[in-house]
Amino acid sequence: MSLMLNHISFKPTEEYHLNDISLRFDSGKMYTILGRTLSGKTTLLKTIAGLQTPDSGSINFEDTDFLSIPVWKRNVAMVYQQFINYPHLNVRDNVAFPLKQRKMDANLIEKEVQEAMEKVGLIGFESRKIQELSGGQQQRVALARSLAKKAKILLLDEPLVNLDYKLREGLREEFKKLFNVSDESNSILIYASTDPLEAMQLNGDIIVIDEGKILQTGTAKDVFENPATAKVAEITNDPAMNINKCFIQDNSLIMNDSVQIQIPDELKSIPNGKYLVGIRATDIYLDDQGFAFDVEISEISGSETFLHLRNNNLKCVATIEEVKTYNTNEVVKINFDKSKIYLFEESGDLRHSPYQQ
Amino acid sequence: MPKLYTFLKYFFVVLWACFVIAPFLWAISTSFKDFNSVTGGATYIPWLQFEPTLDGWSVLFKPGSQGGINIIGPYFNSIFVTLTASLISIVLGTLAAYALSRYTFKAGIVKNNDITFFFISQRIMPPVVLSIPFFIFLSSLGLLDSLAGLILVYIVLLMPIAVWIMVDFFNRVPREIDETALIDGCNPFQAFFKVVLPNSVPGMLVAGLFCIIFGWIDFFFAFILTFTKVQLLPVKIVALNSSITPWWSLSAAALVSVAPLIIVAFIVERYLSKGNLSGALK
């Protein structure tokens, strides 16, 4: 059983929101749609749910034409980024709502609701009003409602993004467990996220989307190690992979007049010419013998420091594994881990990855 | 600083309360006076400064044959017309507003916002402009001097207010609530009645309050569209006026006619503070 999207396009204005999307989702598996804000993630989920009708293309699920079925008969569940619940109902009635709508037997509803509430840890909150809950609890209610439905397709649109850091970490762990449990029920799980780290942690198949177009699909490891294009490399890394113009001449990689590095052996087969060079922020390190860069911005993130650096027209972000304050325009010397260099064609296609065989 | 702030806050609230309450006290005191007490200079305290009398009040309830105006009939007419017109306006207005808020309409260059504006533009016109069309309209329908005719006219006047308030209200209700209802198995009608409507009570109460106020205080249309069979309260009260202005009975009539509005405002206010959508979207 699988959900097939065939050449789905949606162009409400001048720009494509979805551009010729073809995907296959197999039941019992989890997928992460990774893309930046406004890349079309939500539109894609809404199209699968039936809230939006694409201009062209078809959707098939279990050999039926999904587009001819209205939303309320599709048996999907969706959790939004905002905590969407029914404010006039208490927690129990919120969770029971879709089941009552299906006119299920009252005893059965009671059982299913109880089960879903247990899964998300809401026992004891049954008669609370939605307004009396914290953000994390509200999102749990929304999640419980979607789980209670036992829908064949579960759509999660950045469900954790509006929660604070700690809650997010906690809920994400629970999500992973929940999803493993629901694997048995053979539903398709589609999780949209802007956060590469989250996508990697969830460890499902990753679908990279940008400007309504699918850029790459594959396992987390695959997408991380071999991004199909420079754009994918930017989207799937946080901070984004540094992509800069360069040219290769006589075994040196020239980024600008002063930043030139000897290329490692595995790159020697690459002919001279113009390329894009990609270096992860984590593959840049402080080195007294290195290149001088000016600090533009320095931000501390947890136990690391992000340095936004500049050398003439060359800009890059480096992650320094310590907490240190840098002044603006302070000069730091850095070097690049040559064994981790990516090369892309000028068009953006991957030319060389350090993980290539 | 906070002390000064608190002081100023209460100072202005009390000052404002005095401004609002003083006319009421004045009207209450006047309604118990007679001709001599009203014209004989400013007096405030009954029994001490003037002898209270019920003459002003009794005129309101005495039949015409005994020199009164008997407002009981017109009073209930007014309540009936205002409530019926308001109720119909709220029902139709809420449905129209939901459609305008959630669905996209397009007829040439006319779009949702234009339609909403057409509704409210009915209120931009001075009522005088509508008087002759309404008169001709009701007369050709045979509805002049009837409750049904007045209700029809008041719906025209009140529904724009309901639409305007409810469109604004629905625009602030997250669309995702409707969408979630659809995903949870409601068809669009069920989504509206089971989910959107129960959460729209505060908006409907505000719209209802405005409709009741605007319907209740209308004098102009009540005056030109009725003659003898049906009379509304404002028109009847004006009949009190004669060569000598009867301040005492006018005051009594004023108090009687604002009473329903005060009661409605108190009821609505209680629900307004209770209902909110904060749990729907953070």
Using one digit for the tens of pLDDT, what is the confidence trace for A21-52?
999 998 888 899 999 988 999 999 999 999 99
The reply to whether B58 falls in a domain is no
Partner-chain contact B180 A78, CB within 8 Å:
yes
Pairwise CA distance, residues B30 & B247, whole Å: 7
Segments forming the whole domain that contains residue A344: 238-352
In angstroms, the first-to-last Cα distance of chain B is 33
Same domain, yes or no, for A188 and A202?
A: yes
Same domain, A197 and A310: no
The answer to whether B185 contacts A145, with C-beta atoms less than 8 Å apart, is no
Question: For chain B, what is the domain count?
Answer: 2
Instruction: Give chain A's end-to-end CA distance (angstroms, integer).
Output: 34
Q: How confident is the model at residue B79, as a pLDDT?
A: 95
Residue A71, domain CATH: 3.40.50.300
Q: Is the pLDDT of residue B282 over 70?
A: no
Q: Kindly state the average pLDDT of the residues A239-246.
A: 91
Residues of A in contact with B185 (CB under 8 A): 72-73, 98, 101-102
User: Is B197 near chain A, with CB under 8 Å?
Assistant: no
Average of per-residue pLDDT across B182-211 = 92
In the Cβ-directed half-sphere of A337, how many Cα atoms lie within 13 Å?
A: 13
Same domain, B118 and B13: no
User: Residue B279's pLDDT is what?
Assistant: 38
B23 assigned to some structural domain:
yes
Q: Indicate whether A357 belongs to any domain.
A: no
Is the pLDDT at B181 greater than 80? The verdict is yes
CA-to-CA distance for B111 and A300, rounded, in angstroms? 49
How confident is the model at residue B274, as a pLDDT? Answer: 54
**How many CB atoms lie under 10 A from the CB of residue B62?**
13
d(CA B15, CA B9): 10
Q: Does residue A167 sit at the B interface (CB-CB below 8 Å)?
A: no
Query: A161-165, A323-327, B71-75, B124-128: lowest mean pLDDT where?
Result: A161-165
| B152 found inside a domain | yes
List chain B residues with CB under 8 Å of A133: 279
- Reported as a single tens digit per residue, the pLDDT across B98-147 is 999 999 888 888 888 898 898 888 888 888 888 999 999 999 999 999 99
pLDDT at A187 over 90: no
**The 3-state secondary structure of B97-115, one letter per residue:** HHHHHHCCCEECCEEHHHH
> pLDDT grade, residue B276 (50/70/90)?
very low
Task: Supply the ipTM of this predicted assembly.
Answer: 0.84
With residues binned 3-state (H G I as helix, E B as strand, rest as coil), the percentages for chain A, rounded to 5, are 30, 35, 35
B78 and B31 in a common domain: no
Distances (CA, A) of A88 to A85, A92, A127, A232, B91: 9, 12, 12, 43, 20
**Residue B80 amino acid letter:** F
A71/B contact by beta carbon, under 8 A: yes
> Based on the domain organization, do A305 and A218 belong to the same domain?
no
B115 and B205, same domain (yes or no): yes
Give the CATH number for residue B112: 1.10.3720.10
Report residue A281's pLDDT band, with 50, 70 and 90 as the boundaries: very high
Query: Is there a single domain that holds both residue B38 and residue B103?
Result: no
Q: Is residue B63 part of a domain?
A: no
Q: Is residue A156 in some structural domain?
A: yes
The total number of structural domains that make up chain A? 2
Final residue belonging to a domain, choices A234, A266, A285: A234
Residues B262 and B144 in one domain: yes
Same domain, A250 and A107: no
One-letter amino acid for residue B139 of the chain: S
Q: Are A146 and A95 in contact (CB under 8 A)?
A: no
The whole-number pLDDT of residue B278 equals 39
Q: pLDDT at position B281, please?
A: 37
Cα distances (Å, whole numbers) of residue A156 to A77, A257, A298:
8, 48, 34
Which range marks the domain in which residue B22 is found?
2-53
Chain B residues whose CB is inside 8 A of the A130 CB are: 279-280
Q: Is the pLDDT reported for residue B198 higher than 60?
A: yes
B232-256: average pLDDT: 87
Q: Are residues B31 and B102 in the same domain?
A: no
Mean model confidence pLDDT for chain A: 89
Residue A270 lies in a domain: yes
Do residues B185 and B270 both lie within one domain? Answer: yes
Asked if the model's pLDDT at residue A118 lies above 60, the reply is yes
- The answer on A149 and A116 residing in a single domain is yes
Task: Say whether both A170 and A148 belong to one domain.
Answer: yes
The C-alpha atoms of residue A308 and residue B117 are separated, in whole angstroms, by 51
Strand partners, A283: none
